[in-house]
Every structure is written in structure tokens, then in C-alpha cells.
Structure 1
């Protein structure tokens, strides 16, 4: 079963072209509710990972990392949805704010979990799994 988390697109102070994708883990406020902070878990895009973009990475694929951070709630630009790869393939229409993930990513070591992907190729007698 896929759990739906609150995810957000966050801007960068360096005025990066694309927004960061985060999973919001916790929302906190001070006593007056004026200084909202969020605990986030970062998703990485393939071009941000060690090893870079590979042929089998999807254009809307992100990797859930072990990188946690505290950010100002003001950095959230919009809400987005990060689907499992299975639920993403079942979408009738893919919107700009739809992403999917198959891997967890360790940004310190560059390791992925799982570290392998089943690949299906068409052969004259049917399909073959590599």
C-alpha cells in the first residue's frame, strides 16, 4: 500500500530554474504561529545524484534521500504529489506537479536502495527479464 505524504516544491535562494521536491515530515510553529518551520526529507533528481542521469531514469523520477533538514515554511512554492512508480503508471493524466520514485538514495555514498532494477526487453518469443 502506498502512503500519501504531503510533498512540496521549494524554491532555492540561488534562483535555481527547477524547484526542489521535498516530503514534509513535520510542521512546527512558534507560540504566536508567526514563524512556521517544516522538517523535510529531500528528493533528488537524477542529474543531482552521484553518477548523474541514466538512460532508465524517467524525466519525472525523483529519489527519496536520507537527507533531512529544517526549512522555513515560506520556501514552499506549491504542493506536489510523489507517486510510487506503480501508481504513477496508472495515472490517466500526468500533471506538472506529479512525480514518481522507485529508489531511496544516500546522498553521502551515492548508493541506491534497491540497487538493481528489473528490465524487460521484447524478444521474438515474448518478453525477457534481465
Structure 2
């Protein structure tokens, strides 16, 4: 980021609570708690949707236990609230979830499992 900033090309902006479309099929979704301004990235292609969760969900173990945080979350309570909200939103939607820090399998779909959630893996190359 330093070279971009030093060249005068860095533009910062706030992502509104409802998210922001930044290009066709590409949307930023606020995911506060890990760091100020943290976002998840939603990608759409026709009827298919994927969400790169970034640092809002560090590991699949947080799905059945969203209260487990990361030692690097700036605001742990807000990070947990974001995780709970994202997981509730994603459960059963068919959205492909891409975990930035997930061990293999790094992609899957969120399913409700009792009062918690579970990641159902999706093998590479499989659509819906």
C-alpha cells in the first residue's frame, strides 16, 4: 500500500452499511470487528454468488462456535456479531463461501446445524 499512497493514488472511502457495488458482479459488504473498515467481497455471475469472507471468519471452527475469536480482532464483540450475522445470512442460500485463511477445503456452503452452522465443502470445479 505504501507505493500506492506515496504515488498519491490511494483513495479511501467508507462502505455504507448496505454495501457498495464497485463493478458489475462485484460488491463490498461491511464486515466490521476485525479491523476498522473490514469488508467481505461478494462476487456474482448470473444466478451464482460467492462471498470471500476475509478475516471475518478465520476458520471453519467458528461456524459452530462463532464466539471463538481471533487474537488479532480489534473489536472482538463486534467481530463475533459480524460472524453471527454473516453466517445467518449465508445459511442455506447456496452462496459459495471462500475462506481466506481456511485450511483445505477452502470453499463451501454454510448450512444451519441446530442453533449453529457448518461448512459443507464443495470440491473444486463443482457448480451448484
TM over 0.5: no
TM-score, with structure 2 as normaliser: 0.30
Q: Which has the larger radius of gyration?
A: 1
TM-score normalised by length of structure 1: 0.30
